[in-house]
Amino acid sequence: MSAKDNENLASDLAALGYPGFSHLKASHRRAPAEVMLSALQVANLEPRLVEALPWVLSACRDLDWEWLVREALLNELQNKLGFLTNVARRVEEKSGRSETARLLREQEAVLEHSRLPTEETLCHDSLTQVELRWLRTNRSTEAEHWCLLTDLSPEHLSSIPMNLQRETIAQAPEERI
């Protein structure tokens, strides 16, 4: 993915209302599931964009889970989606948002049935062998369960104002632009 593609995805996330990109000019609002699928397909996604993905899963009430899961399965992206759903669920549980956590737990269970045994990175295929070895040793239990080499965890997302998500999403797209 080029720098321009990363900028476009950042603009897509801003259009969805992601607080971390509120300073960016929002693009035309795409469906949250399309934004997620586009991001999951990228071999080397900027870390700031990866960190935004759990927010999309928990904050976008109009996310078409049926379509997203089906497309993730067709593209063998279920481990990435499953792990990000797990991270989003843990953030929601920690924040006391039990209804959203329940929805995420249900989607995680659907993805669990299709989990692949193949180890891969979370949108960061350009890692060196030294980095890959470090991640194998230091990744979370959840990342290992989903066969992902990543150090992303709910603690990495603590600087994101997740409590703003409901108010942000409630605005009409044209009010955010």
Long-range contact pairs involving 158-163 (C-beta distance under 8 Å, separation at least 24)? 160/19, 160/20, 160/51, 160/52, 160/55, 161/19, 162/55, 162/58, 162/59, 162/91, 162/95, 163/95
pLDDT of 127 above 70: yes
Identify the band that residue 161 occupies on the pLDDT scale cut at 50, 70 and 90: low
Cβ count near 32 (within 10 Å): 24
**pLDDT at residue number 170:** 38
**What's the per-residue H, E or C state across 67-115?**
HHHHHHHHCCCHHHHHHHHHHHHHHHHHCCCHHHHHHHHHHHHHHHCCC
Mean pLDDT to the nearest integer, 50-58: 96
Domain spans of the chain, in order of start: 3-176
Q: Which two tokens stand for residue 47?
A: 């870390």
Q: Which helix (H) or strand (E) holds 49?
A: helix 47-50
Instruction: Give per-residue pLDDT as tens, 63-115.
Output: 999 999 999 999 999 999 999 999 999 999 999 999 999 999 999 999 999 99
Give the tokens for residue 98: 């039990």
CA 141 from centroid of its chain's CA atoms? 18
